Chain A
Amino acid sequence: MHIMEGFLPSPWWQLWFIISAPFLIIGLYQLKRLFNEKRDTIPLLAVAGAFVFVLSSLKLPSVTGSCSHPTGTGLGAILFGPFVTSILGLIVLIYQALFLAHGGLTTLGANVFSMGIAGPLLAYGIYRGGMKVGLNIWVTVFLAAALADLFTYVVTSFQLALAFPAASGGIWASFLAFGTIFAITQVPLAIVEGVIIALVFKYIIAIRPDILVKLKVLSQSMVDRIRGSEA
């Protein structure tokens, strides 16, 4: 769910740029280090960015119809870590604004925060946490992708509520109102995205597990165990 161009009034759109800035700077710093140390990851990062863009521009099979695009950033965060994903998210959001007319330029700061920073951080946290506790991998990936998607929309509602607080009940009442109205499309969407990303993960493990091992997403022993239990 992107906030459209011109929707956020004046103090807020600048504020979200400022809030997003430290995360993007960390991401840029990590990117710079990648460019210097492990040059061979750059083309892979580029195709991953393109992949996130294409995935998020595909129409999801959805129950409710409108705005049914996956965010794809959950998968990015699991694979590349949250900060580099925030840079990918920034680039993808600029392209979405320019090529697909989703989102906008002044609202870019707010959208980067909800889609590129908040969601991926949560997805990454859930994935690493779930792996540590030894939760079933499909459940972990499902939770990471679905909750990241949900969290993105919760943050968006919060951003809108801050900008347009209700007359009675203030920010909280307005947050509930935005949250409820977006929940109609976003909750089924988050579940669908969770299922799909889990299945995508399954297919990747089945065909090219070496990619995941190389990115240190899974250890070789984990891959063997998963493939063993499948067979």
Chain B
Amino acid sequence: MENILDDYAHRNALRDVDTRLKLALGVGAILIGIFSTTPLSPLIIGLSMGVITVAIARIPFRLYIGLLAIPVSFAAMSGIVILFMTGGGDPLWTVTIFGFSFIMTTESLNLAVLVTCRTFGGMSSLFFISLTTPAVELFSVMRDLRLPKEFVDLSMLIYRYIFVLIGEAIAMHNAQVMRNGYSGFRRSIYAFSMLGAMLFIKAWEKGEALLVAMDARCYDGKLEVMEGERHLDPKGVVSVGCYLCFCSAITILCAGKNFF
């Protein structure tokens, strides 16, 4: 909860670059990675996206490393299953647990490496989007994509209230900690439930207040937001295009190539 990435998105060095360009770069890289049949191109995407995020967008390096740790536990657990359950190729290593033998083969190793690289590439591209693009700017893109306006409005309201509730939650949590709220497992359960319930009630009361406030301002089911003019920078378009072409070229040229 401490790492709301949106905070960083508001003060990264690529803040003023057009949102559509950043989204094209991030989503394009994700798609190239997921369609790739070689671990090489998602690996390159992952590393280059990391460099772009840290060096060009000036996101603190330590924060970035910490973020990469989030998908690691999921990738490791699922990677182990793929490693020992899928098969094909020559057996490399056999382990016996509780009388069951698990066999690691060349193809399962290749598949596990491919999937791990894809996750790495995909997560780095996702981090690029979340660390350089503030959510506020996503709403205008959502509108350009002609998503239903009810959906966009609800997203905006939810976005606004996330920060209000996080503030409330932190204040309540601090108060509980000062009163030994989380000193044992049983107490933690009680304290956490109390936090959840009070948060819900507070949220509800805020919602009722919001209703009055919106009615007072003649809310008729449509939120109008002012948007500044946007223009695409030709240099940016060319460099994003080159990068995506380069990644696609590697994917196509090395299709099916594996490390083992």
Task: Knowing A101-B70, A101-B126, say if A50 contacts B196 (CB, 8 Å).
Answer: no
Do residues B204 and A47 form an inter-chain contact, with CB atoms below 8 A?
yes
Q: Across the two chains, which residue of chain A brings its CB closest to B195?
A: A58
A residues with a Cβ closer than 8 A to B are 1-10, 13, 28, 31-32, 35-36, 39-40, 42-51, 53-55, 57-61, 63, 66-67, 75, 87-88, 91-92, 94-95, 97-102, 104-106, 160, 164-168, 173-174, 177-178, 181-182, 192, 195-197, 199-204, 207-208, 211
Q: Which of A5, A55, A94, A164 contacts B111 (CB 8 A)?
A: A164
Specify the main secondary structure of chain A where it touches its partner: helix
Specify the main secondary structure of chain B where it touches its partner: helix
B residues with a Cβ closer than 8 A to A are 1, 3-6, 27, 30-31, 33-35, 42, 67, 70-71, 73-75, 77-78, 80-82, 84-88, 105, 108, 111, 115, 118-123, 125-127, 129-130, 135, 138, 148, 150-151, 153-155, 157-162, 164-166, 169, 182, 185, 188-190, 192-201, 203-204, 206-208, 210-211, 214, 219, 221
Q: Which of B82, B164, B198 contacts A164 (CB 8 A)?
A: B82
Do residues B158 and A46 form an inter-chain contact, with CB atoms below 8 A?
yes
Q: How far is the CB of A224 from chain B (nearest CB, A)?
A: 20
Number of A-B residue pairs, CB cutoff 8 Å, is 256
Do residues A203 and B203 form an inter-chain contact, with CB atoms below 8 A?
no
Contacts of B5 in A (CB 8 A): 98-101
Q: How far is the CB of A132 from chain B (nearest CB, A)?
A: 25
Do residues A28 and B151 form an inter-chain contact, with CB atoms below 8 A?
yes
Q: Which of A47, A49, A195, A200 contacts B206 (CB 8 A)?
A: A47
